[in-house]
Amino acid sequence: MSSDGFKIAISGLIWTMRLWPVVAVGTASTILRHRLRNPAAFFVLGSLICYGAASIVDRIFTLRRLDVIVATPRDDLPEIAVASGFGLVLLGMLLSAGPIWWLWRLMHRTPETGASGI
């Protein structure tokens, strides 16, 4: 990977890590806004859940990533760093799905009464 390609990939990784919670939860709250009692609260709490899950994943796998990076030949280092970063983003997304679903169940309205679903 060239130096410019690596810089672009790292920049994309950084922006992905920063924006995926806002984009994912914002899209869900926009699509489901008529079913939610408070879409803004869902957006804020859901984003915090996603950022928290991403932080936990990052903390848990930082040491493992360092072991892999130290054992990697120098030529493959950029590819390994970018791939492991995107893998952590994906794992954070997967671990956020359960709490986000729970939050949605907690905040959605039933069609008949308009009350909470739980």
pLDDT of the residue at 97 = 92
pTM for the whole thing? Answer: 0.74
Q: Where are the domains of the chain?
A: 3-107
d(CA 100, CA 42): 9
Tokens of 87: 């893998």
The residue ranges of DSSP E strands in 1-118, in sequence order, are none
pLDDT in tens, 95-107: 999 999 999 999 8
d(CA 107, CA 72): 46
Please state the rounded mean pLDDT for residues 84-92: 84
